[in-house]
Amino acid sequence: MALIDLSKKEVHCKIVYYGPGRCGKTTNLLYIYQAMDESDRGKMLTIDTKGDRTLFFDLLPLNLGKISGFDIRIQLYTVPGQVMYEATRKLVLKGVDGLVYVADPLLVRRERNIEGLEDLRRNLEAHNLKLEEMPIVLQYNKRDLVDTPVPTLTIEELEADLNSELKTKYFEAVATTGVGVFETLKEITKRTVRYVAEKHLLTKM
Amino acid sequence: MADFVITAQAQEKAGNLLINSLIKAGVRTALLIDSAGNVLANCGHEQQHIDIDAISLAALAAASLAATTQIAKLIGEDDFSLLFHKGKHGNIHFGRIGQELILITIFGDDVSLGLVRCRVSELAESIAEIFEG
Ligand SMILES: Nc1nc2c(ncn2[C@@H]2O[C@H](COP(=O)(O)OP(=O)(O)O)[C@@H](O)[C@H]2O)c(=O)[nH]1
Ligand SMILES: [Mg+2]
Protein backbone atom coordinates (compact mmCIF):
# COMPACT_ATOMS: atom_id res chain seq x y z
CA MET A 1 0.00 0.00 0.00
CA ALA A 2 1.52 3.23 -1.10
CA LEU A 3 1.83 6.21 1.17
CA ILE A 4 1.24 9.55 -0.45
CA ASP A 5 2.43 12.48 1.62
CA LEU A 6 0.92 15.65 0.23
CA SER A 7 2.69 17.88 2.73
CA LYS A 8 6.19 16.72 1.79
CA LYS A 9 5.15 15.85 -1.76
CA GLU A 10 6.44 12.30 -1.43
CA VAL A 11 5.15 9.00 -2.75
CA HIS A 12 6.32 5.87 -0.92
CA CYS A 13 5.95 2.50 -2.66
CA LYS A 14 6.81 -1.03 -1.63
CA ILE A 15 8.34 -3.36 -4.21
CA VAL A 16 8.92 -7.01 -3.29
CA TYR A 17 11.45 -9.34 -4.95
CA TYR A 18 9.89 -12.78 -4.84
CA GLY A 19 11.12 -16.18 -5.99
CA PRO A 20 12.43 -19.54 -4.85
CA GLY A 21 15.26 -19.80 -2.30
CA ARG A 22 18.76 -19.03 -3.65
CA CYS A 23 17.56 -17.52 -6.95
CA GLY A 24 19.42 -14.25 -6.29
CA LYS A 25 16.95 -11.83 -4.68
CA THR A 26 19.30 -10.64 -1.95
CA THR A 27 22.10 -10.38 -4.54
CA ASN A 28 19.95 -7.96 -6.59
CA LEU A 29 19.48 -5.69 -3.57
CA LEU A 30 23.15 -5.88 -2.62
CA TYR A 31 24.20 -4.86 -6.12
CA ILE A 32 21.78 -1.92 -6.12
CA TYR A 33 22.99 -0.92 -2.66
CA GLN A 34 26.63 -0.95 -3.74
CA ALA A 35 26.03 0.81 -7.05
CA MET A 36 23.88 3.67 -5.81
CA ASP A 37 25.04 6.96 -4.42
CA GLU A 38 24.86 7.14 -0.66
CA SER A 39 22.58 10.17 -0.84
CA ASP A 40 20.00 8.19 -2.83
CA ARG A 41 19.77 5.14 -0.64
CA GLY A 42 19.18 4.32 2.98
CA LYS A 43 20.68 1.57 5.05
CA MET A 44 20.29 -1.97 3.83
CA LEU A 45 18.66 -4.09 6.45
CA THR A 46 19.08 -7.87 6.30
CA ILE A 47 17.88 -10.45 8.72
CA ASP A 48 19.88 -13.60 8.11
CA THR A 49 19.99 -16.96 9.72
CA LYS A 50 23.44 -18.37 10.45
CA GLY A 51 24.14 -19.21 6.84
CA ASP A 52 23.50 -16.71 4.10
CA ARG A 53 19.81 -17.46 3.84
CA THR A 54 17.32 -14.70 4.38
CA LEU A 55 15.24 -15.55 7.42
CA PHE A 56 12.78 -12.70 7.49
CA PHE A 57 13.41 -10.15 4.75
CA ASP A 58 15.91 -7.69 3.33
CA LEU A 59 14.99 -4.04 3.04
CA LEU A 60 16.63 -1.34 0.96
CA PRO A 61 15.08 2.16 0.88
CA LEU A 62 15.81 4.26 -2.25
CA ASN A 63 15.12 7.81 -3.39
CA LEU A 64 14.51 7.77 -7.10
CA GLY A 65 14.12 11.45 -7.95
CA LYS A 66 10.97 13.32 -8.92
CA ILE A 67 7.97 12.43 -11.04
CA SER A 68 5.38 15.22 -11.63
CA GLY A 69 6.75 17.14 -8.67
CA PHE A 70 6.59 14.22 -6.25
CA ASP A 71 9.68 12.71 -4.65
CA ILE A 72 9.62 8.97 -5.29
CA ARG A 73 10.68 6.84 -2.32
CA ILE A 74 10.87 3.12 -2.96
CA GLN A 75 11.33 0.39 -0.42
CA LEU A 76 12.72 -2.80 -1.89
CA TYR A 77 11.99 -5.97 0.06
CA THR A 78 13.00 -9.58 -0.51
CA VAL A 79 11.30 -12.62 0.95
CA PRO A 80 12.85 -15.85 2.22
CA GLY A 81 12.28 -18.34 -0.60
CA GLN A 82 12.49 -21.61 1.30
CA VAL A 83 9.18 -23.43 1.28
CA MET A 84 8.91 -23.53 5.07
CA TYR A 85 8.83 -19.73 5.39
CA GLU A 86 5.48 -19.25 3.72
CA ALA A 87 4.08 -17.39 6.76
CA THR A 88 6.91 -14.87 6.54
CA ARG A 89 6.39 -14.33 2.82
CA LYS A 90 2.77 -13.54 3.48
CA LEU A 91 3.75 -10.89 6.05
CA VAL A 92 6.19 -9.19 3.71
CA LEU A 93 3.57 -8.97 0.96
CA LYS A 94 1.36 -6.84 3.17
CA GLY A 95 0.88 -3.53 1.40
CA VAL A 96 2.93 -4.49 -1.68
CA ASP A 97 2.65 -2.13 -4.68
CA GLY A 98 4.91 -3.87 -7.21
CA LEU A 99 6.65 -7.22 -7.74
CA VAL A 100 9.75 -8.68 -9.32
CA TYR A 101 9.63 -12.44 -9.71
CA VAL A 102 13.19 -13.77 -9.88
CA ALA A 103 13.60 -17.20 -11.47
CA ASP A 104 16.50 -19.62 -11.22
CA PRO A 105 17.73 -21.05 -14.55
CA LEU A 106 18.99 -24.36 -13.15
CA LEU A 107 17.16 -27.25 -14.74
CA VAL A 108 16.83 -28.86 -11.31
CA ARG A 109 14.96 -25.77 -10.06
CA ARG A 110 12.32 -25.84 -12.77
CA GLU A 111 9.54 -27.05 -10.47
CA ARG A 112 10.60 -24.63 -7.74
CA ASN A 113 10.18 -21.66 -10.07
CA ILE A 114 6.67 -22.73 -10.99
CA GLU A 115 5.72 -23.51 -7.40
CA GLY A 116 7.08 -20.14 -6.28
CA LEU A 117 4.83 -18.27 -8.67
CA GLU A 118 1.83 -20.28 -7.46
CA ASP A 119 2.85 -19.51 -3.89
CA LEU A 120 2.98 -15.81 -4.77
CA ARG A 121 -0.49 -15.94 -6.30
CA ARG A 122 -1.87 -17.67 -3.21
CA ASN A 123 -0.23 -15.29 -0.75
CA LEU A 124 -1.43 -12.24 -2.67
CA GLU A 125 -4.95 -13.62 -2.53
CA ALA A 126 -4.65 -13.73 1.26
CA HIS A 127 -4.31 -9.92 1.02
CA ASN A 128 -7.17 -9.67 -1.50
CA LEU A 129 -4.75 -8.91 -4.33
CA LYS A 130 -4.72 -10.49 -7.78
CA LEU A 131 -1.41 -11.33 -9.40
CA GLU A 132 -2.76 -10.34 -12.83
CA GLU A 133 -3.69 -6.86 -11.59
CA MET A 134 -0.38 -6.04 -9.92
CA PRO A 135 2.61 -4.38 -11.57
CA ILE A 136 5.04 -7.27 -12.03
CA VAL A 137 8.14 -8.05 -14.11
CA LEU A 138 10.11 -11.27 -14.39
CA GLN A 139 13.85 -11.61 -14.01
CA TYR A 140 15.64 -14.65 -15.42
CA ASN A 141 18.76 -14.54 -13.29
CA LYS A 142 22.09 -16.37 -13.37
CA ARG A 143 22.31 -16.28 -17.17
CA ASP A 144 26.09 -16.67 -16.76
CA LEU A 145 25.45 -20.33 -15.96
CA VAL A 146 24.25 -20.95 -19.50
CA ASP A 147 27.87 -21.03 -20.67
CA THR A 148 28.85 -23.65 -18.10
CA PRO A 149 28.29 -27.43 -18.14
CA VAL A 150 25.48 -27.12 -15.55
CA PRO A 151 22.14 -27.99 -17.20
CA THR A 152 20.03 -24.82 -17.47
CA LEU A 153 16.63 -23.77 -18.79
CA THR A 154 16.35 -21.82 -22.01
CA ILE A 155 14.52 -18.49 -22.17
CA GLU A 156 11.78 -20.23 -24.19
CA GLU A 157 11.32 -22.81 -21.44
CA LEU A 158 11.25 -20.15 -18.73
CA GLU A 159 8.75 -18.11 -20.73
CA ALA A 160 6.50 -21.14 -21.24
CA ASP A 161 6.69 -22.07 -17.55
CA LEU A 162 6.25 -18.65 -15.98
CA ASN A 163 5.05 -16.05 -18.44
CA SER A 164 2.48 -17.72 -20.65
CA GLU A 165 -0.41 -16.23 -18.65
CA LEU A 166 1.18 -13.10 -17.20
CA LYS A 167 2.65 -12.00 -20.52
CA THR A 168 4.76 -9.37 -18.83
CA LYS A 169 8.20 -8.02 -19.57
CA TYR A 170 11.18 -10.19 -18.62
CA PHE A 171 14.82 -9.35 -18.09
CA GLU A 172 17.84 -11.61 -18.39
CA ALA A 173 20.23 -10.93 -15.55
CA VAL A 174 23.46 -11.83 -13.81
CA ALA A 175 22.79 -10.29 -10.41
CA THR A 176 26.30 -10.99 -9.12
CA THR A 177 27.84 -8.67 -11.73
CA GLY A 178 24.83 -6.38 -12.11
CA VAL A 179 23.76 -7.35 -15.61
CA GLY A 180 20.04 -6.56 -15.95
CA VAL A 181 19.68 -5.49 -12.33
CA PHE A 182 18.99 -1.80 -12.92
CA GLU A 183 16.97 -2.53 -16.05
CA THR A 184 14.67 -4.69 -13.91
CA LEU A 185 14.48 -2.07 -11.16
CA LYS A 186 13.77 0.76 -13.58
CA GLU A 187 10.93 -1.05 -15.31
CA ILE A 188 9.19 -2.20 -12.12
CA THR A 189 9.56 1.24 -10.57
CA LYS A 190 8.06 2.89 -13.63
CA ARG A 191 5.12 0.49 -13.62
CA THR A 192 4.56 0.73 -9.89
CA VAL A 193 4.64 4.52 -9.75
CA ARG A 194 2.31 4.72 -12.74
CA TYR A 195 -0.07 2.25 -11.07
CA VAL A 196 -0.12 4.22 -7.81
CA ALA A 197 -0.37 7.58 -9.55
CA GLU A 198 -3.25 6.46 -11.75
CA LYS A 199 -5.11 5.16 -8.72
CA HIS A 200 -4.86 8.54 -7.05
CA LEU A 201 -4.92 10.77 -10.08
CA LEU A 202 -1.76 12.41 -8.79
CA THR A 203 -1.21 14.27 -12.02
CA LYS A 204 -4.35 16.27 -11.26
CA MET A 205 -3.28 17.32 -7.78
CA MET B 1 -5.83 -2.47 2.24
CA ALA B 2 -6.21 1.06 0.90
CA ASP B 3 -3.34 3.42 0.25
CA PHE B 4 -2.76 6.21 2.73
CA VAL B 5 -2.95 9.73 1.47
CA ILE B 6 -1.75 12.15 4.12
CA THR B 7 -2.28 15.87 3.94
CA ALA B 8 -0.22 18.55 5.62
CA GLN B 9 -3.17 19.21 7.86
CA ALA B 10 -3.50 15.58 9.00
CA GLN B 11 0.20 15.37 9.62
CA GLU B 12 0.21 18.51 11.73
CA LYS B 13 -2.80 17.37 13.72
CA ALA B 14 -1.28 13.97 14.44
CA GLY B 15 2.10 15.52 15.26
CA ASN B 16 0.51 17.90 17.75
CA LEU B 17 -1.39 15.10 19.44
CA LEU B 18 1.77 13.01 19.79
CA ILE B 19 3.79 15.91 21.14
CA ASN B 20 1.22 17.12 23.64
CA SER B 21 0.27 13.75 24.97
CA LEU B 22 3.53 11.75 24.79
CA ILE B 23 6.61 13.86 24.18
CA LYS B 24 5.64 16.41 26.81
CA ALA B 25 5.16 13.53 29.25
CA GLY B 26 8.80 12.53 28.75
CA VAL B 27 8.57 9.97 25.94
CA ARG B 28 11.71 10.18 23.78
CA THR B 29 10.28 9.19 20.45
CA ALA B 30 6.80 8.59 19.11
CA LEU B 31 6.59 7.00 15.68
CA LEU B 32 3.31 6.44 13.89
CA ILE B 33 3.51 3.80 11.16
CA ASP B 34 1.15 1.76 9.01
CA SER B 35 1.09 -2.01 8.88
CA ALA B 36 3.10 -2.04 5.63
CA GLY B 37 5.97 -0.31 7.43
CA ASN B 38 5.50 3.27 6.17
CA VAL B 39 6.26 6.15 8.55
CA LEU B 40 3.32 8.56 8.94
CA ALA B 41 4.66 10.74 11.75
CA ASN B 42 7.90 10.88 13.70
CA CYS B 43 8.17 13.09 16.79
CA GLY B 44 10.68 13.29 19.57
CA HIS B 45 12.91 15.22 21.90
CA GLU B 46 15.54 17.06 19.89
CA GLN B 47 18.64 15.74 21.66
CA GLN B 48 17.61 12.17 22.38
CA HIS B 49 15.93 11.39 19.13
CA ILE B 50 18.57 12.00 16.46
CA ASP B 51 19.99 8.58 15.77
CA ILE B 52 16.94 6.45 15.24
CA ASP B 53 16.71 4.79 11.84
CA ALA B 54 12.96 5.25 11.49
CA ILE B 55 12.63 3.38 8.19
CA SER B 56 14.28 0.21 9.50
CA LEU B 57 12.43 0.48 12.79
CA ALA B 58 9.08 0.84 11.02
CA ALA B 59 9.71 -2.13 8.71
CA LEU B 60 10.82 -4.37 11.56
CA ALA B 61 8.02 -3.28 13.88
CA ALA B 62 5.34 -3.85 11.26
CA ALA B 63 6.70 -7.33 10.48
CA SER B 64 7.23 -8.20 14.11
CA LEU B 65 3.72 -7.18 15.09
CA ALA B 66 2.22 -9.10 12.20
CA ALA B 67 4.23 -12.13 13.36
CA THR B 68 3.09 -11.59 16.94
CA THR B 69 -0.55 -11.60 15.87
CA GLN B 70 0.01 -14.90 14.08
CA ILE B 71 1.66 -16.32 17.21
CA ALA B 72 -1.36 -15.23 19.23
CA LYS B 73 -3.69 -17.03 16.81
CA LEU B 74 -1.61 -20.21 17.06
CA ILE B 75 -2.29 -20.37 20.79
CA GLY B 76 -5.94 -19.45 20.43
CA GLU B 77 -5.74 -15.73 21.26
CA ASP B 78 -6.97 -12.89 19.06
CA ASP B 79 -3.91 -10.81 19.78
CA PHE B 80 -1.74 -9.87 22.76
CA SER B 81 -2.80 -6.76 24.60
CA LEU B 82 0.64 -5.73 25.86
CA LEU B 83 3.45 -5.36 23.33
CA PHE B 84 6.46 -4.07 25.17
CA HIS B 85 10.21 -4.64 25.34
CA LYS B 86 12.31 -3.53 28.27
CA GLY B 87 15.95 -2.59 27.80
CA LYS B 88 18.79 -1.29 29.97
CA HIS B 89 18.53 2.30 28.78
CA GLY B 90 15.28 2.42 26.94
CA ASN B 91 11.97 0.72 26.56
CA ILE B 92 9.74 0.33 23.56
CA HIS B 93 5.99 -0.04 23.42
CA PHE B 94 3.81 -0.88 20.41
CA GLY B 95 0.19 0.22 20.41
CA ARG B 96 -2.35 -0.66 17.76
CA ILE B 97 -4.42 2.18 16.39
CA GLY B 98 -7.43 0.83 14.51
CA GLN B 99 -6.84 -1.87 11.90
CA GLU B 100 -3.93 -0.43 9.99
CA LEU B 101 -1.80 1.81 12.23
CA ILE B 102 0.79 1.21 14.92
CA LEU B 103 2.08 3.78 17.40
CA ILE B 104 5.61 3.05 18.59
CA THR B 105 6.89 4.83 21.69
CA ILE B 106 10.44 4.77 23.04
CA PHE B 107 11.02 5.96 26.58
CA GLY B 108 13.41 5.74 29.51
CA ASP B 109 12.87 4.59 33.08
CA ASP B 110 11.74 8.09 34.06
CA VAL B 111 8.42 7.40 32.36
CA SER B 112 6.12 4.66 33.58
CA LEU B 113 4.75 2.00 31.27
CA GLY B 114 1.32 2.56 32.79
CA LEU B 115 1.32 6.19 31.74
CA VAL B 116 2.42 5.33 28.21
CA ARG B 117 -0.25 2.66 27.80
CA CYS B 118 -2.86 5.00 29.11
CA ARG B 119 -1.86 7.87 26.83
CA VAL B 120 -1.60 5.60 23.77
CA SER B 121 -5.08 4.22 24.29
CA GLU B 122 -6.43 7.76 24.80
CA LEU B 123 -4.82 8.79 21.53
CA ALA B 124 -5.96 5.77 19.54
CA GLU B 125 -9.37 7.07 18.63
CA SER B 126 -8.40 10.60 17.66
CA ILE B 127 -5.50 9.40 15.54
CA ALA B 128 -7.59 6.76 13.81
CA GLU B 129 -10.12 9.48 13.02
CA ILE B 130 -7.50 11.71 11.42
CA PHE B 131 -6.18 9.04 9.06
CA GLU B 132 -9.03 6.62 8.58
CA GLY B 133 -11.75 9.28 8.58
N1 LIG C 1 26.40 -17.61 -11.01
C2 LIG C 1 25.54 -16.77 -10.45
N3 LIG C 1 25.29 -16.85 -9.14
C4 LIG C 1 24.41 -15.98 -8.58
C5 LIG C 1 23.78 -14.97 -9.36
N6 LIG C 1 22.96 -14.27 -8.54
C7 LIG C 1 23.09 -14.81 -7.30
N8 LIG C 1 23.97 -15.83 -7.33
C9 LIG C 1 24.40 -16.67 -6.18
O10 LIG C 1 23.32 -17.46 -5.74
C11 LIG C 1 23.35 -17.64 -4.33
C12 LIG C 1 22.05 -17.22 -3.69
O13 LIG C 1 21.84 -15.84 -3.87
P14 LIG C 1 20.91 -14.97 -2.89
O15 LIG C 1 20.87 -13.59 -3.44
O16 LIG C 1 21.32 -15.14 -1.48
O17 LIG C 1 19.51 -15.70 -3.14
P18 LIG C 1 18.10 -15.42 -2.44
O19 LIG C 1 17.81 -16.60 -1.60
O20 LIG C 1 17.15 -15.33 -3.59
O21 LIG C 1 18.18 -14.14 -1.66
C22 LIG C 1 24.53 -16.82 -3.84
O23 LIG C 1 25.61 -17.67 -3.64
C24 LIG C 1 24.79 -15.85 -4.98
O25 LIG C 1 26.13 -15.43 -5.07
C26 LIG C 1 24.08 -14.91 -10.76
O27 LIG C 1 23.56 -14.07 -11.50
N28 LIG C 1 24.97 -15.83 -11.25
MG1 LIG D 1 17.86 -13.77 0.38
What is the per-residue pLDDT across B52-108, written as a single tens digit (0 to 9) for each? 788 889 988 988 888 888 889 889 998 888 899 999 989 999 999 988 899 999 999
**What's the number of domains chain B is made of?**
1
Tell whether B1 is covered by a domain. no
Q: Which of A77, A139, A176, A182 to mutate to test the pocket of ligand 1 (most atoms within 8 A of CB)?
A: A176
For residue B13, the chain A residues in CB contact (below 8 A) are none
* CB proximity list for A67: less than 8 A, separation 6 or greater: A11, A193, A197
CATH classification at residue B113? 3.30.450.30
Tell whether B3 is covered by a domain. no
What is the per-residue pLDDT across A18-50, written as a single tens digit (0 to 9) for each? 999 999 999 999 999 999 999 999 988 887 554
ipTM for the complex? Answer: 0.74
Please tell me the distance in Å from A97's CA to the nearest CA on chain B. Answer: 10
For residue B5, the chain A residues in CB contact (below 8 A) are 4, 6, 200
Tell whether B62 is covered by a domain. yes
Whether A53 has a pLDDT exceeding 80, the answer reads no
Whether B118 has a pLDDT exceeding 90, the answer reads yes
| Domain span holding position B34 | 8-132
* CB proximity list for B88: less than 8 A, separation 6 or greater: none
pLDDT of residue A205: 42
Q: pTM for the whole thing?
A: 0.88
**Residue A119 near residue A89, CB atoms below 8 Å:** yes
Domains identified in chain A and CATH numbers: 3-204 (3.40.50.300)
